[in-house]
C-alpha cells in the first residue's frame, strides 16, 4: 500500500471522526481537559483554545461527516 492523496484524505477523515466522538464528561474530564467544571476560564491559554477548536469542529462537522463517512464506505465497498 503506497502513500497517496487518497490515504491522506482517509487519515484526515479518521482524525475528524476521533475528535467528534470524544465525550467531554467521560473521557476528557479524566485528564483535566473539560470545560464543564472550570469556574475561571482563561480564553487565551493554549488548552482553552484547543478545547474551543474541538467544540467548534464537533458543531460544524457533525452532519457533513456522517454523509462523508457513508460515501467512503460505499466507495470502499464498490472498489474493494
Predicted confidence pLDDT, tens digits, the chain (80 residues): 678 898 898 899 999 998 888 877 777 777 777 766 555 566 677 878 888 888 888 889 989 999 999 999 999 999 97
Q: Which of 14, 5, 55, 28 is nearest to 37 (CA)?
A: 28
Domain boundaries, the chain: 5-79
Output the CA–CA distances (angstroms, integers) from residue 49 to 43, 65, 70, in the order listed: 7, 22, 31
Angstrom distance (rounded) from CA 71 to CA 77: 10
Amino acid at each position: 500500500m503506497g502513500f497517496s492523496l487518497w490515504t491522506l484524505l482517509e487519515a484526515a477523515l479518521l482524525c475528524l471522526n476521533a475528535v467528534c466522538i470524544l465525550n467531554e464528561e467521560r473521557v476528557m474530564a479524566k485528564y483535566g481537559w473539560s470545560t464543564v467544571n472550570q469556574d475561571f476560564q482563561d480564553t487565551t491559554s493554549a488548552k482553552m483554545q484547543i478545547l474551543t477548536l474541538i467544540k467548534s469542529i464537533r458543531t460544524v462537522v457533525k452532519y457533513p461527516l456522517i454523509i462523508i463517512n457513508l460515501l467512503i464506505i460505499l466507495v470502499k465497498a464498490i472498489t474493494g
